Chains A and B, each alone.
Chain A
Amino acid sequence: MNQATSAEDPLARIFREEAAGVLSVLIGQVRDFELAEDALQDALAEAVVIWRRDGPPRSGAAWLLTAARRRAIDRLRRATVIRKEASQLELLAQLELGGRETEENQPIPDERLRLIFTCCHPALAQDARVALTLRTLCGLSTGEIGRAFLVSEATMSRRLVRAKNKIRAAAIPYEVPEGSEVTERLASVLDVIYLIFNEGFSATKGASPTRASLCLEAIRLSRVLYQLMPHPEAGGLLAMMLLHDARRDARTDADGAYVPIAEQDRSRWNGELIDQGTKLLLHCLGQHRPGPFQIQAAISALHAEAPSASATDWKQIAALYAALFEITPTAVVTLNRAVAISNVETPAAALALVDTVSDELDGYQPLHAARADLLSRCGRNTDAAAAFRRAISMSGNASERNFLQRKLDQLT
């Protein structure tokens, strides 16, 4: 998120790259989220002064970990004088012993997987999982996260404090789940990363630079996750986000107006990202453990490889949506499948399918946009106009509203 500062400040870059790794090890050692975070902040402040004076050390991570642990010990000592809890004293003794074993120039272990699974624990509310992940793993400030999700810094701060309190008070374990639990827990992690990506990608509540960089944060985090846990669904999510992100620039025209995929200038798609995403997807599919993200990535890949909107393999896309429906039978999947079917069969057939879910999705803006398009393609202009008006009234995004308004104007 601090791209502007990282370009001019090498320290900011080191902090950004190393902070999550250091924090992940420190939490394991001090067994307290808040204490670890505070101690790391102290260490970062110390580093600014010392590294500027002496130059950065050979291993920034090891230096930060040593400094942060020292600061954690100081904080614990001060707290222990007041409370004198046996468990605190024991922890203090362990920390002081453990500190001597760390060589300042040795690489530190990578515990980020434990941190990821703890931040995305299903016992935490979803908005708290997202906030905690952005704070601890992506290193965003509370204010930045608040701006990205359009809530005040104070509200976001309360959300984070509450989540960290629950981790401590309810003893949410700091570990990577094992056995049969992994798949379910991984799904929760992938959902959080996808939510972060989507928040930046769809920009339902208006665009801002902070929100756009959420896509990059999600991709970066997804790369870390896939590297540490090369599960095909983790790869599927990364592939899908790369393929979506490849189209990002083409989604708006020179005036910043929204351009739907069928009308996008395909020469503006990022070929390198498409290539990366497709290769990764093929590798994951080769492991024959399909899942929702791999299927969605495959759909995105079919769009990406089509030379034009009309040359898109809609038949296969419709089949993939049917397969997705088998795993996640939701009304939204049915809606997407109907849009694909409208290009294989007839808009009327698609409309019939859409109407099976239109009650359930009445509050979902894309339903009305899709219905409007199908109705106009069926020549039912009066109904189409009503659906366009409904879709416009429900859209929170100005450039999308303008796009729908143009469509509405073309009807009459």
Chain B
Amino acid sequence: MLYIALIYNRETGSNDPKMFEAYGQYTKEMIEGGFFKAGDPLQPSETATCVSVRNGKTELKDGPFSETKEQLGGYYVLECANLDLAIECAAKIPGAKTGTVEVRPIVAM
């Protein structure tokens, strides 16, 4: 089963080298455990553009989809046998200690 772990956190506006290192460690652990499929950090939500098409016309909005305190800041795609394992992996994501990680199964196509 593939799961996506969406990492939501408050945006601090600065890069914490300790956090960077913690993510490096975590990614390494996921690769070695055979769970890692993909994963990336995202640019801050102020760089986001929302795109929608209405009546054939493309409409743009500056900023993220929802203006909440915690914003999507990165993701992992993990291969896990079941939800318990996916939760175990998600709980180790450094951002889970300060924010929230949403775990969603990916539809097999």
- The answer to whether B82 touches A169 (Cβ under 8 A) is no
Quick one: closest A residue to B85, CB to CB?
A: A173
Please encode chain A, from 82 to 93, with 1 for each CB lying within 8 Å of some chain B CB and 0 for all others.
000000000000
Quick one: closest A residue to B82, CB to CB?
A: A173
What distance in Å separates the Cβ of B84 from its nearest Cβ neighbour in chain A? 5
A169 to B1, CA, bound (A): 10
A171 to B85, CA, bound (A): 10
What distance in Å separates the Cβ of B28 from its nearest Cβ neighbour in chain A? 24
Q: A291: CB under 8 A from chain B?
A: no
Q: A123: CB under 8 A from chain B?
A: yes
What distance in Å separates the Cβ of B102 from its nearest Cβ neighbour in chain A? 12
- The answer to whether B105 touches A172 (Cβ under 8 A) is no
What distance in Å separates the Cβ of A404 from its nearest Cβ neighbour in chain B? 42
Per the 8 Å Cβ criterion, residues 56-109 of B in contact with A are: 81-84, 87, 103-105
What distance in Å separates the Cβ of A67 from its nearest Cβ neighbour in chain B? 29
Could you say which residues of chain A place their CB within 8 Å of the CB of B87?
123
Q: A177: CB under 8 A from chain B?
A: yes
What distance in Å separates the Cβ of A119 from its nearest Cβ neighbour in chain B? 14
- The answer to whether A173 touches B105 (Cβ under 8 A) is no
- The answer to whether B105 touches A169 (Cβ under 8 A) is yes
Could you say which residues of chain A place their CB within 8 Å of the CB of B104?
170
Could you say which residues of chain A place their CB within 8 Å of the CB of B83?
121, 123, 170-173
Most buried by A among B81, B83, B104: B83
Could you say which residues of chain B place their CB within 8 Å of the CB of A181?
84
What distance in Å separates the Cβ of B33 from its nearest Cβ neighbour in chain A? 17
- The answer to whether A170 touches B105 (Cβ under 8 A) is yes
Could you say which residues of chain B place their CB within 8 Å of the CB of A177?
84
Per the 8 Å Cβ criterion, residues 164-218 of A in contact with B are: 169-173, 177, 181
Quick one: closest B residue to A123, CB to CB?
A: B83
A121 to B103, CA, bound (A): 15
A173 to B103, CA, bound (A): 15
A172 to B103, CA, bound (A): 12
A121 to B84, CA, bound (A): 10
A115 to B83, CA, bound (A): 16
A358 to B45, CA, bound (A): 41
Could you say which residues of chain A place their CB within 8 Å of the CB of B82?
171-173
Could you say which residues of chain A place their CB within 8 Å of the CB of B103?
170
Per the 8 Å Cβ criterion, residues 117-175 of A in contact with B are: 121, 123, 169-173
A45 to B35, CA, bound (A): 45
What distance in Å separates the Cβ of A189 from its nearest Cβ neighbour in chain B? 15
Please encode chain A, from 318 to 332, with 1 for each CB lying within 8 Å of some chain B CB and 0 for all others.
000000000000000
Could you say which residues of chain B place their CB within 8 Å of the CB of A171?
1, 81-83, 105
Please encode chain B, from 1 to 23, with 1 for each CB lying within 8 Å of some chain A CB and 0 for all others.
10000000000000000000000
Please encode chain B, from 35 to 58, with 1 for each CB lying within 8 Å of some chain A CB and 0 for all others.
000000000000000000000000
Could you say which residues of chain A place their CB within 8 Å of the CB of B1?
171
Quick one: closest B residue to A169, CB to CB?
A: B105
A181 to B83, CA, bound (A): 14
Between A and B, 18 residue pairs with Cβ closer than 8 Å are A121-B83, A123-B83, A123-B87, A169-B105, A170-B83, A170-B103, A170-B104, A170-B105, A171-B81, A171-B82, A171-B83, A171-B105, A172-B83, A172-B84, A173-B82, A173-B83, A173-B84, A181-B84
Residues in chain A within 8 A of chain B (CB atoms): 121, 123, 169-173, 177, 181
Enumerate the 6 nearest inter-chain pairs by beta-carbon distance, A residue then B residue, closest first: A173-B82, A171-B82, A170-B105, A170-B83, A172-B83, A171-B1
